[in-house]
Every structure is written in C-alpha cells, then in structure tokens.
Amino acid sequence: MERMKAKLSILDLAPVLEDGTSTESFRNMVDLAQHAEQWGYHRYWLAEHHNLPGTAISATSVVIGHVAAHTHSIRVGSGALLLSNYVPLAIAEQFGTLESLFPGRIDLGIGRSSGTDQSTAWALRRNLHNDNDFPEQLLELRSYLNPALGGSLPGVRAVPGEGLNLPIWLLGSGGFSAQLAGQLGLPFAFASHFAPDNLLSALELYRRHFQPVSLDKPHVMIGVNVIVAETDEEANWLATSQEQQFLSVLRGEGGKLKPPVDNMDRLWSAEEKAIVGGKMLRYGARGSVDTVRNKLSVILKETGADELIIAAPVYDHQARLRSYELLAEAMR
C-alpha cells in the first residue's frame, strides 16, 4: 500500500493511572518520547490542564524542557498552552528560553480556553478574561518575538525570545481560532480527539480565510484517538480505559485513568454509549495495523489534514508503547 503522506505526531496528556503517581507518568512520558523519536514521529506535544487528577501536566513549559532534554531531534511543544492563564511576556520569555536551549525543536501551540473550571481559572490568574481579548493577547505575545508586528508594550523586550524563529500554532475546537489562524497565516490544529463536531466546518473556515503571511499555504493538523494492537479484539479491550475516561468526563466525575474492563455495557447506559462512542470518539481508530491504516486513510481523505497528532491513553505502559510502534508501521 502507498505510504500515507501525513506526518505523524503524539499528543501526550501524561495520564495518571488509577494506582499510579505523577512521577510515574513523567517517567513514562520521557520513555515514550524517546521511543517516538526512534520510530520517526515528527512532534511530541504536551497539553495543559489544571485541577484534574487524571493528567499530570500543568506546568507545560517545564515539562517541555524536560522532554527536550531527554531527546535529540523530535520537535517538542505545547498542545496547547492556554494563553488566557498567563501574561504574554511570560510566555514569550519561557518559550524564548526553551528555543534558545533547544534551537529548532520547540513549537508554541496556543489555545484560548482556561483548561479548567471557573474557580481554578480564578486561582490561576485572579481575573477572567473575555474571549474577545484573545486576539490582542496573541498579538502582544507575537510582537515580543517579532517587534515589527507592533503589539508589544513600549520599551519592553523578551530576553530571550525577541528575534527567534519560534513556530506558533493556533489550536481550537471551533470556528473562532480557525478563522483567526487563517487570517494570520498560522498553522492550525483542531482538537477533534475530544470535540469532533465542528471539525470539517472549522477546516473549511480556516482554508477559506487563509492569508499567506507566516506560511505560503494552509497547514492543518488534527487530533485523533488511535489504539493499535496485534488484533482488533485486543485494541478494543485496551480502548475501554479511554471509554471510561470519557464517560467520567460526561458525568462530571474526573478521576485517574482506569484499567481496561471486559464489558463496558455494565458501566454505561445506551445513551452514554452513543455519546461517547458515536460522538466524542468519532475521529479515532482502533484495531490491528490493517484496520487502523484503513480508518486513518478515510479520515485523511475526508479532512485533507497535513498532520495527525495522536492521543492514546492506554493503561499499561508497554501496551501504549506497542500501540505507537504499530501505528508508525501502519503509516509507512
């Protein structure tokens, strides 16, 4: 079969296992990143969350530096860094520092949500920005890296940061960030791994509004849930950990990543099964190498994505490694 053209990357939420700790999650994270580099993955992105016991990443820039220091060539970045939780100068300095330490390997993926509940958002920043502030925040951040844009505070410079060629991505799950990314000529990543409803309309909006400013042409990456095993049956069993995770989100319960179960029908109602399996996990692939290859081929034809960024919250670390190894084989 002809090799699929899309680049392959990893989105790591650093899941904390039901019987595990954040320390173990970070150890597994580095191990996966090192293997991913060997298997030819293009990027390794880390997501920001707060007040969620099931994910270990809250200090995103710190963790990016840790992964970059333990790898050699793979790009490492944020997927996403939630700008509303920070002042733009701090992010310009943090990522300017990372880019100076690891030249040509750092990506700054930016989102506009808080990544948490209202109380935690208040604890993080002591004020709740209006979403309409996001374009101004983004311009200020970009201007500290490139003063010619003219949006930074007079007399304030990001050191390190100013003048560095640091790729900035916009990430989102709807039309706002898609249109803004197009207008600014930035690459765009859509969070279809958990919010697939508006994927196709957002990609159309991005491409329609694209202006060749930072890029010559549109560049799209989409989030996809993928679990690969030796057989379809094993992959479906491994995937019950993620199904339980989404079920907990649906019920507003949170919690750590649970081990696989033999029968999800004992845990969810028919309505919950339809929402999790038919809606929330719509853009995903699970099964053997052949099954996953065929499914991803359909997704790529439907979306025209340039890159796939893969989330695979598998409970057992060795099975998770094997899933990403088999996925790399499927995309060759």
SS (H, E, C) 11-55: EECCECECCCCHHHHHHHHHHHHHHHHHHCCCEEEECCCCCCCCE
Q: pLDDT grade, residue 280 (50/70/90)? A: confident
d(C-alpha 168, C-alpha 91), whole Å: 12
Residue 141: per-residue pLDDT: 97
Residue 128: per-residue pLDDT: 59
Per-residue pLDDT, averaged over 265-270, amounts to: 96
pLDDT surpassing 60 at residue 295: yes
Q: Residue 42 CB: number of other CB atoms within 10 A?
A: 17
d(C-alpha 106, C-alpha 200), whole Å: 28
Q: pLDDT grade, residue 129 (50/70/90)? A: low
Q: Residue 74: which residues within 8 A CB-CB, separation 6 or more?
A: 33, 36, 37, 41, 42, 43, 44, 105
pLDDT surpassing 90 at residue 125: no
Q: Does the domain at residues 7-330 carry the CATH identifier 3.40.50.2000?
A: no
Residue type at 7 in one-letter notation = K
The proportion of the chain whose per-residue pLDDT surpasses 90, expressed as a percent, equals: 86
- Whose tokens are 């920070």? That residue is 86
How many helices, marked H, and strands, marked E, lie in the chain? 12, 10
Residue 87: per-residue pLDDT: 92
Of the candidates 126, 99, 112, 125, the one whose C-alpha atom is nearest the C-alpha of residue 173 is 112
pLDDT surpassing 60 at residue 192: yes
Cα angle vertex 312, ends 307, 315, to 5°? 170
The tokens describing 128, both together, are 């709740």
Residue 118: per-residue pLDDT: 76
d(C-alpha 104, C-alpha 166), whole Å: 8
The proportion of the chain whose per-residue pLDDT surpasses 70, expressed as a percent, equals: 96
Instruction: Provide the phi-psi class of 152: left if phi over 0, else alpha when psi is between -120 and 50, else beta.
Output: beta
pLDDT surpassing 80 at residue 117: no
Q: Which tops the pLDDT comparison, 116 or 155?
A: 155
Residue 2: per-residue pLDDT: 45
**Average of per-residue pLDDT values in the chain:** 94
pLDDT surpassing 60 at residue 3: no
Model confidence pLDDT, tens digit, residues 79-96 = 999 999 999 999 999 999
Q: Distance between terminal CA atoms of the chain?
A: 9
d(C-alpha 174, C-alpha 200), whole Å: 10
Instruction: Yes or no: say if 63 and 46 are a contact pair by the CB < 8 Å rule.
Output: yes
d(C-alpha 138, C-alpha 261), whole Å: 43
Model confidence pLDDT, tens digit, residues 202-239 = 999 999 999 999 899 999 999 999 999 999 999 999 99
Poorest-pLDDT segment among 41-50, 63-72, 120-129, 186-195 = 120-129
Residue 132: per-residue pLDDT: 67
Q: pLDDT grade, residue 114 (50/70/90)? A: low
Per-residue pLDDT, averaged over 48-70, amounts to: 95
d(C-alpha 308, C-alpha 326), whole Å: 15
Residue 19: per-residue pLDDT: 93
Residue 115: per-residue pLDDT: 62
